[in-house]
Amino acid sequence: MHNKSVAELSRELESGKISSVELTREFLDRIKAEDGQYNSFITVTDDQAMAYAKAADEQRAAGKAGAWTGVPLAHKDIFCTSGVTTTAGSKMLANFVPPYDATVTANFRAAGAVCLGKTNMDEFAMGSSNESSFFGPVTNPWGLNSGDKRVPGGSSGGSAAAIAARLVPAATATDTGGSIRQPAALCGITGLKPTYGRVSRHGMIAFASSLDQGGTMARTAEDNALMLNVMAGFDPKDSTSADRAVPDYTATLKEPLKGLRIGLPKEYFSDQLSPAMEEQVRNAVKEYEKQGAIVKEVSLPHAKLAIAAYYVIAPAEASANLSRFDGVRYGYRCEDPQDLNDLYTRTRAEGFGGEVKRRILVGTYALSAGYFDAYYLKAQKVRRLIQQDFINAFKEVDVLMSPVSPSPAFVQGEKTSDPVTMYLEDIFTIAVNLAGVPAMSVPAGFVDGLPVGLQIIGNYFEEARLLNAAHQFQQVTDWHQKLPQ
């Protein structure tokens, strides 16, 4: 059963071939036996999961089941879960037990899904490799047979690794600068970052509020559509939530692609992309041409400025958001503080990891008197230019396609000593977050035995079009079905 998709498991439960209790126990046993080598989970909720599974079986017996009733999944440990520890991968919140659910977790609970636990992540979602977690790095299931441990990408690497290792069929995730698409690409699964505001951020621990977006991870585009059906929608508890109708994202999956206009941004097929990676991406685009899609080159002229703008805006917002973790209200507190200043200083020094401290310092500097106009304000102006690039491109084409990352999964520890090199891993994903448009990663081949992701970018609130394009690609390819050895 652990090799089946969400859609397949839902049908198995509907037919009565297996119960949710049996299914949940199989996944929990698999996590217990296998996750020691991946470290993809921070918390596993055995007792709660079994209770939910039992309730789901009772719902099905009463004829009150939906597509998600009794289906297991996991939540990234950045979504608050009532009564379950929510850490954001940080020592600062290692013992934090929220008294409420995030809107995303509440929606899945209401849909009857069974939460198996909380997945590992870069601390406060700051990282591109899942090596900054207080609970240890996550190991990518791919490439283990070579003797090297490789990163799963970040910050949603725990969710991606758990799905790739078949420890869970689906998991929630978040994307601030590529944190869904990059791990999905490096782990050979399918991940979707929706339009900013499409999924509620209520109860999602903030990193950079104008960039953070909850999204989906699973093996197939169809499973991502099933997840988005539950997650999307207006939420009055989130002031940035979009008040727009939510379509059935599974309804248009099978529409033909004939006439689909695909744009290839010339800035994303540059010297920064290895020939082997480019070959896999262009081969994937050829599959779309075989289905009747029309391909043309387009330009995103300000894409080269995205990294610089992002690493001013995101740290500035992180600096403001993380100021609440001061040892006074909740979270970690240093022992025996001498005075209030000592309490603040040692709590934050001891509670935050190196990458979080680095971004807080950069962000505080960018917001400081005398530098706000020179850095933060200018970065926001560049952001508007980047957004306009996408608006202009979508006047010519329906979707954009590009690589997700410049290289496959790299070896753990290879780039931790050079933050700038690490930041460049997000060079093809960050502009999407600055603009707020939706994008997804779809498995599209292998380089050196490691997965490669195809990035599909859409216009605002056109997630259905992206899912349709990804689903049709997966009908004629089997990259998404490949298993790590």
The pLDDT of residue 412:
94
The pLDDT of residue 330:
86
As a whole number of angstroms, the distance between CA 63 and CA 422 comes to 51
List, for residues 8-20, the tens digit of each pLDDT value: 999 999 999 999 9
List, for residues 406-450, the tens digit of each pLDDT value: 999 999 998 888 888 888 889 999 999 999 999 999 999 999 999
- Is 90 exceeded by the pLDDT of residue 387? yes
List, for residues 72-130, the tens digit of each pLDDT value: 999 999 999 999 999 999 999 999 999 999 999 999 999 999 999 999 999 999 999 99
Which position among 40, 155, 241, 402 bears the catalytic label? 155
| Tokens encoding 310 | 């992002």
- 76 as an active site residue: the answer is yes
Which position among 40, 76, 159, 241 bears the catalytic label? 76
**Largest interatomic CA distance in the chain:** 70
- Which of 166, 269, 177 is closest to 218 using CA atoms? 166
Exposure string of 255-274, with b = 16+ CB inside 10 Å and e = fewer, is eebeebebbbbebbbeeebe
Q: CB-based burial of residue 320 (10 Å sphere; 0-12 exposed, 13-18 middle, 19+ buried)?
A: middle
- What is the radius of gyration, based on Cα positions, of the chain? 21
The pLDDT of residue 418:
84
- Is 80 exceeded by the pLDDT of residue 146? no
Which position among 20, 179, 241, 407 bears the catalytic label? 179
| Tokens encoding 138 | 């996550």
Mean pLDDT (whole number) for 362-377: 92
- Is 80 exceeded by the pLDDT of residue 392? yes
The pLDDT of residue 145:
79
Please report, for residues 190, 295, 480, the alpha-carbon distance to residue 168 in angstroms, rounded to integers and kept in the order given. Answer: 14, 36, 15
User: Which phi and psi (to 5°) does residue 190 adopt?
Assistant: -110, 130
Instruction: Identify whether the C-beta of residue 199 lies closer than 8 Å to the C-beta of residue 104.
Output: yes
Q: In what order do the strands lie in the sheet with 399-403?
A: 41-44, 114-119, 72-76, 170-175, 213-218, 190-193, 439-447, 450-458, 399-403, 261-265, 294-298
The pLDDT of residue 369:
87
Per-residue pLDDT band for 341 (boundaries 50, 70, 90) equals very high
Instruction: Identify whether the C-beta of residue 390 lies closer than 8 Å to the C-beta of residue 300.
Output: yes
The pLDDT of residue 109:
97
Mean pLDDT (whole number) for 176-182: 97
Residues above pLDDT 70, as percent of the chain:
100
Per-residue pLDDT band for 304 (boundaries 50, 70, 90) equals very high
Residue ranges of domains in the chain:
6-258+463-481
- 155 as an active site residue: the answer is yes
Per-residue pLDDT band for 298 (boundaries 50, 70, 90) equals very high
The pLDDT of residue 416:
83
Lowest mean pLDDT among 25-34, 213-222, 276-285, 322-331: 322-331
Q: Does domain 6-258+463-481 have CATH number 3.40.50.970?
A: no
Per-residue pLDDT band for 338 (boundaries 50, 70, 90) equals very high
As a whole number of angstroms, the distance between CA 350 and CA 347 comes to 5
Work out the mean pLDDT of the chain and round it to a whole number.
Answer: 96
